[in-house]
Amino acid sequence: MEYTNAPGHIYDIQGYAVHDGPGIRTTVYTKGCPLKCLWCHSPESQRHQFELGYLPLKCLGADLCENACIKACPEGAITRDAPSKLMGKDQMVEKIKIDRAKCSGCLKCADACITQSLYTAGWNTTVDEVYTRLMKDVSFFENGGGVTISGGECMAQFDFTLNLCKRLKDSGIHICLDTTGFAPTAQYGEIMPYADLFLYDLKHMDSYHHKKLTGVPNELILDNARFLARNGAALQVRYPMIPKLNDSAENIRATAEFCKELGDAVQLVQLLPYHKAGRTKYERLGWRYRLTNVEPPPESFMEKALEVFKALELPCQIH
């Protein structure tokens, strides 16, 4: 099958993924997403540009590395912080702090940092490069696993994702696309023959609330789900349940009814309870986490929500 060695930018490739579709999978995380969900647990995925991350635990202190990052910064955005303990030792060192308002994102400091305490979230790549990496995991894909292309929003880098799918399909690899549904319908039509399963998010059935939570309305997302279902695609619907934001009885019922409307295309509905796992990533990027007062929903609540989906005879599970 003809494909193009299209360029792309990604921020991670993770092997042995067991929550990104059937079997054991390797997941490619593309950068850039048109949505900005309040609960996003991968903030480094949101922008197309590469981010500067800082992990203070790994920092040796500015004395030991002779101010490497401070000297590398052309904007004077990095200065010494108050003394704190070096990891695993009693020794006090002066680590660094970044004035994000001054930072231009040149990433010179990350190049200068030998411990990778300062790091770049994301890198440029190509279809061939990613394919070669993925094929190292091919033995894990037996018994129903494969590759999942996630994000960010993988459809936001359409040429890269489409051509990676073509290349993988040629090798008989099972492909999942993890998508927000927010991309042109024609692109879903074009990529559909190469995707075995769409992991498809439904975040709120009311467009006004959807926009408040994610930054975009939901009409295109719902239309694309209908389009995919009508044209024979397989869908695994994912409903992230965020207390007080999208877990009203009305929204749970509307989501279940919409899944029912999609018919046999829906192979599974997953109710995903809110979790706080991504919170520290915001600190590393110097971003503010906006859901500080939200706690994961109790199991009993999730079970009750699941009953609504079961009542409509939908294949469904929590997680």
Task: Assign 12 to helix, strand or coil.
Answer: strand
Q: Choose the stretch contacting ligand SF4; rule: CB under 6 A; options: 12-20, 68-76, 158-166, 295-303.
A: 68-76
Q: List the alpha helices (DSSP H) in 42-191.
A: 68-72, 108-112, 127-135, 158-170, 185-191
Nearer to ligand SF4, 107 or 233 (CB): 107
Which residue in 317, 198, 216, 204 sits closest to 269, CA to CA? 317
- Total H helices, total E strands in the chain: 10, 13
Instruction: Please report how close the Cβ of residue 66 comes to ligand SF4 at its closest, in angstroms.
Output: 8
Instruction: Please report how close the Cβ of residue 51 comes to ligand SF4 at its closest, in angstroms.
Output: 9
Nearer to ligand SF4, 11 or 160 (CB): 11
Is 118 one of the binding residues for ligand SF4 (CB under 6 A)? Answer: yes
Nearer to ligand SF4, 25 or 95 (CB): 95
CB-count burial class (<10 Å; 0-12, 13-18, 19+) for 71: middle
Task: Give residues with Cβ within 8 angstroms of 13, minimum separation 6.
Answer: 26, 27, 28, 29, 130, 133, 134
Is 285 one of the binding residues for ligand SF4 (CB under 6 A)? Answer: no
Cα 19 to Cα 319: distance, rounded to the nearest angstrom: 8
Is 115 one of the binding residues for ligand SF4 (CB under 6 A)? Answer: yes
Nearer to ligand SF4, 53 or 273 (CB): 53
Is 121 one of the binding residues for ligand SF4 (CB under 6 A)? Answer: no
Q: Hey, which residues between 11 and 50 contact ligand SF4 (CB under 6 A)?
A: none
Which residue in 234, 245, 237 sits closest to 221, CA to CA? 237
Residue 284's CB is within 10 A of a number of other CB atoms, namely 17
Total chain residues near ligand SF4 (CB under 6 A): 28
Q: Choose the stretch contacting ligand SF4; rule: CB under 6 A; options: 36-44, 83-91, 110-118, 229-237.
A: 110-118
Q: Which of 37, 40, 73, 241 binds ligand SF4 (CB under 6 A)?
A: 73
Instruction: Please report how close the Cβ of residue 115 comes to ligand SF4 at its closest, in angstroms.
Output: 4
Return the structure tokens found at 271: 């109710």
Task: Assign 158 to helix, strand or coil.
Answer: helix
- Tell me which residues touch ligand SF4 (CB under 6 A): 52, 59-62, 65, 68-69, 72-73, 75, 77-78, 95-96, 98, 103-109, 112-113, 115, 117-118
